[in-house]
Chain A
């Protein structure tokens, strides 16, 4: 969190939604923040390189144009790293975390259709010898407005 300027904080917080869809969006942002386009592009590149920003783009509604599934495995501790690497190697996997639970490996699978997801799950079960806990989305209660970062200092 150290070394973030006021401009950086505004870039991180103010454009999580309704990013301009205009020919020169970064110039528009620069005008709103009282700076120039080159500075905005430069700071965004740095924030991306430092890992603060994943990307600038769309967050798709769950199960809108594709299907996603939360899945979990209970992996013996000595196999966790190897199994995690295997899971991460799938293009369909976008999140993959170790969590503190008997089910200790949690991942999200996304694909264009259910057949593809079923094939990936069967393959994972075959390759790991572990049953996949499948937790499809039934209802999304949350309206995504982004996430307002609170600065600690």
Chain B
């Protein structure tokens, strides 16, 4: 439940650091070969042991929050994806997100600033479902069981997906 500084990344990586060289390659994912860390070592000029040590360090200090298979929801049969945005009274934060996260279908939950007048919403969550109806049903269950009928919200279903890939934190031009 980290409060995030708006303007400064928590860790500034030195341009010539081993970590930066590693992340530049690792952000694209492991190659599907018998010894992927050795392959990454070769691309970065580090040793295999050093690559594994750096990855373990990034996991340990929680710079990496999850290390493993990243699935694509749409292809895996979750065709409906809705961002639900809420205008939650500030005094009800963070109680409401904590309740939301009790529901297994909630995949993200973020606080963001309102941008008045055009954007009154300050809480964002994501629901992935097999279809539109199941997303709406889950949302309805959550709203009624938590007593949130009076909290203004909007459902933004996704339509076309123009781009989806892992974030590139480090530009390849660096």
Residue positions of A touching B, CB distance < 8 A: 1, 11-12, 15-19, 21-27, 37, 41, 44-45, 48, 50-68, 70, 84-85, 87-88, 91-101, 103, 106-108, 110-114, 133-149, 152
Contacts and interface: CB of A to CB of B under 8 A. Distances in A.
Query: Chain B interface: which size bin?
Result: 35 or more
28 contacts: A15-B69, A16-B66, A16-B68, A17-B67, A25-B37, A41-B34, A53-B72, A55-B166, A57-B28, A58-B23, A60-B65, A61-B65, A63-B9, A64-B65, A65-B11, A66-B169, A96-B161, A97-B81, A98-B159, A99-B157, A100-B156, A107-B163, A110-B167, A135-B113, A138-B3, A138-B112, A142-B107, A146-B69
B165 to A, nearest CB: 5
B66 A138 contact: no
B90 to A, nearest CB: 11
A149 B75 CA distance: 11
A99 to B, nearest CB: 4
Q: Which of B29, B67, B109 has the most CB of A within 10 A?
A: B67
Given A25-B36, A60-B64, A61-B62, A94 B163 contact: yes
A140 B70 contact: no
A137 B109 CA distance: 10
Contact of A23 (B2, B8, B38): B38
A131 to B, nearest CB: 9
A12 B171 CA distance: 29
Given A93-B163, A99-B157, A52 B66 contact: no
Contact of A57 (B11, B26, B98): B26
B126 to A, nearest CB: 9
Contact of A94 (B58, B74, B83, B168): B168
Contact of A55 (B28, B52, B83): B28
A12 B73 CA distance: 11
B22 to A, nearest CB: 10
A45 B52 CA distance: 22
Given A48-B32, A106-B83, A139-B111, A59 B6 contact: no
